[in-house]
Amino acid sequence: MRFLFTVGNDRAIKADNILVGTASWSDPGFVERWYPKGMRAAERLPWYAEHFEIVEVNSTFYSVPDPRMVERWCRATPDHFIFDVKLHRLLSRHSTPLKMLPQNLQSQAEADSKGKIQLTSKIEELLIDSFIESVEPLRSAGKLGALLLQLSPAFSPKKNRLAELDALLDRVGEYSTAVEFRNRNWAIGDQLAKTVAYLRKHHATMVSVDAPAQAHFTIMPSELDEITDPRLAYLRLHGRDPKAYITGRTVGERFHYDYSDEEIGELAERSKKLGHQAAKVHMIFNNNALDFAPHAALRLRAALRQITTAPARQPELW
């Protein structure tokens, strides 16, 4: 059964227009605490896809995937399953060691004395082409959602211009693209209107976040839900612990947060409001410590009546 949500006196929102999942399906905490004991690695994605209809691929941030592996992802998931794919870290303006480039591109890249790649227009173009080729099996299968550009906090209005992203966004313009800023200064004061206008011009989605309520330069405002592409709203859920977010040294430490049932209810209402403004809503839980993300995502699906109830947590099962 499919449910409809009504927003105010206006149009109804189909429940299946809101897709809920997690950032990655193979984090260590998931393996230890969420997947059935003894499950083989090859069985995890199919099992994940029994519970969710979308996942955000995180491994592609660190390396361009082999198309044969991407084909295996396609075969392991149902026809309707969607993959949002995080773009390579060099494209996201993060410091990148030479060894993280595809082997055939390493000889064409320029690196500094510490082995960090210099981002030139040539290497950017080659990497974009390599990346697009690698995810083509997803697009051919109708399973490619958005390409996620998660920018470095060092990419700031004080040192950079949005126009630096022109070549990248133009090259991936035929794809759905979502841009997550990690520097708050792009989204406050007079700069916000410029940022929104830029993304609308390039038909790119501005990623919304659920994050700690603190005005730290690396934390984007959680109240910001700007729809810059009516095809897609994209909300990444990082947790609400400011100390963990700012001082954590690992992903597990930074996003160590277990959403309460009350907070899940708030997020359900927020997703419905986003669904009133965009054709699709992707809700991605990035609180990837322990088993927090999959259980939060399942509780949100239950709050949206996409499933009857959220399964019990593993300590209650074993």
pLDDT in tens, 174-198: 999 999 999 999 999 999 999 999 9
Query: Alpha helices of the chain — where are they, by DSSP H?
Result: 28-33, 41-49, 67-76, 103-106, 121-134, 136-140, 166-171, 191-201, 242-247, 251-254, 261-277, 292-303, 314-317
pLDDT in tens, 203-251: 999 999 999 999 999 999 999 999 999 999 999 999 999 999 999 988 8
Angle at the Cα of 301 from the Cα atoms of 213 and 298, rounded to 5 degrees = 80
What is the Cα–Cα distance from 318 to 315, expressed in whole angstroms?
Answer: 6
What is the Cα–Cα distance from 22 to 55, expressed in whole angstroms?
Answer: 6
> Secondary structure of the chain: what % helix, strand, coil (to 5)?
40, 20, 45
Instruction: Using alpha carbons, select from 195, 269, 207 the residue that is nearest to residue 23.
Output: 207
Q: Which numeric CATH code is attached to 4-317?
A: 3.20.20.410
Tell me the longest C-alpha to C-alpha distance in the chain: 61
Model pLDDT, residue 8? 47
| Cα dist from 109 to 60, 90, 126, whole Å | 19, 11, 10
What is the Cα–Cα distance from 283 to 274, expressed in whole angstroms?
Answer: 10
Check: CB of residue 188 under 8 Å from CB of residue 221: yes
What is the Cα–Cα distance from 86 to 88, expressed in whole angstroms?
Answer: 7
Write the single-letter amino acid at 89.
Answer: R
What is the Cα–Cα distance from 51 to 67, expressed in whole angstroms?
Answer: 25
Check: CB of residue 23 under 8 Å from CB of residue 289: no
Instruction: Using alpha carbons, select from 235, 255, 251, 258 the residue that is nearest to residue 243.
Output: 255
What is the Cα–Cα distance from 237 to 287, expressed in whole angstroms?
Answer: 7
Q: Is 186 exposed, middle or buried (0-12, 13-18, 19+ CB in 10 A)?
A: buried
Give the number of other CB atoms < 10 A from CB of residue 209. 22
Check: CB of residue 114 under 8 Å from CB of residue 251: no
Model pLDDT, residue 312? 76
- Low-confidence residues of the chain: pLDDT under 70: 1-15, 314-318
Model pLDDT, residue 272? 96
Check: CB of residue 57 under 8 Å from CB of residue 24: yes
Model pLDDT, residue 250? 86
Model pLDDT, residue 1? 42
What is the Cα–Cα distance from 57 to 148, expressed in whole angstroms?
Answer: 9
